[in-house]
Chain A
Amino acid sequence: MVAVAELTATAAPTVAPAAPAPDDAPSGAEGRGQLSVRAQALQHIVESVALEVPRVRRTSGSLAGVRSGTPHASVHVRGTTARVSLDVAVAWPAPVSDVAAQVRSAVLDRASELSGVRITAVDVNVTVSGIDERRAS
Chain B
Amino acid sequence: MTGPSETSVVPPADGTREVEEVHEDLADRVAEAVLSVPGVHALHGGVLGEVATYLPGRRVAGIRLLEGVTQVHLVLDWDAPMSATIDEVRARVSALAPGVVHLAVEDVQGPAGPAEG
Q: Which A residues lie at the B interface, using CB under 8 A?
A: 1-2, 13, 15, 25, 27, 29, 32-38, 40-42, 44-45, 47-52, 58, 69, 71, 113-116
Q: Which B residues lie at the A interface, using CB under 8 A?
A: 47, 69-70, 75-76, 78-83, 86-87, 90, 94, 100-114, 117
Closest 7 CB pairs of A and B: A47-B112, A48-B110, A48-B78, A33-B101, A44-B108, A41-B108, A37-B105
CB neighbours (8 Å) of B70 from chain A are 33
CA distance A106 to B113 in the complex (A): 18
- B86 contacts A44, CB within 8 Å? no
CB neighbours (8 Å) of A15 from chain B are 104, 106
CA distance A33 to B90 in the complex (A): 9
CA distance A41 to B23 in the complex (A): 29
Shortest Cβ distance from residue A75 to the other chain B in the assembled complex, whole angstroms: 12
- Answer whether A71 and B94 are a contact pair too, CB < 8 Å, given A33-B101, A36-B105, A114-B82: no
Interface residue from A25, A33, A71, A115 paired with B103 (Cβ < 8 Å): A33
Shortest Cβ distance from residue A16 to the other chain B in the assembled complex, whole angstroms: 10
- B83 contacts A44, CB within 8 Å? no
Secondary structure at the B interface, as helix, strand, loop or mixed, is mixed
CA distance A29 to B86 in the complex (A): 9
19 pairs, A vs B, C-beta closer than 8 Å: A25-B83, A27-B87, A32-B94, A33-B101, A34-B103, A35-B86, A35-B105, A36-B103, A41-B105, A41-B106, A44-B108, A44-B110, A44-B114, A47-B117, A48-B113, A58-B111, A113-B81, A115-B82, A116-B83
CB neighbours (8 Å) of A47 from chain B are 110, 112, 117
Shortest Cβ distance from residue A92 to the other chain B in the assembled complex, whole angstroms: 21
Shortest Cβ distance from residue A97 to the other chain B in the assembled complex, whole angstroms: 22
CB neighbours (8 Å) of A37 from chain B are 82, 104-105
Shortest Cβ distance from residue A43 to the other chain B in the assembled complex, whole angstroms: 8
Please, which residue of chain B has its CB at the minimum distance from the CB of A40?
B107
CB neighbours (8 Å) of B103 from chain A are 33-36
CB neighbours (8 Å) of A44 from chain B are 78, 107-110, 112-114
Given contacts A2-B83, A33-B69, A114-B81, 11 further A-B contacts (CB under 8 A): A13-B47, A32-B90, A35-B102, A35-B105, A36-B103, A36-B105, A41-B107, A47-B117, A49-B78, A52-B111, A114-B80
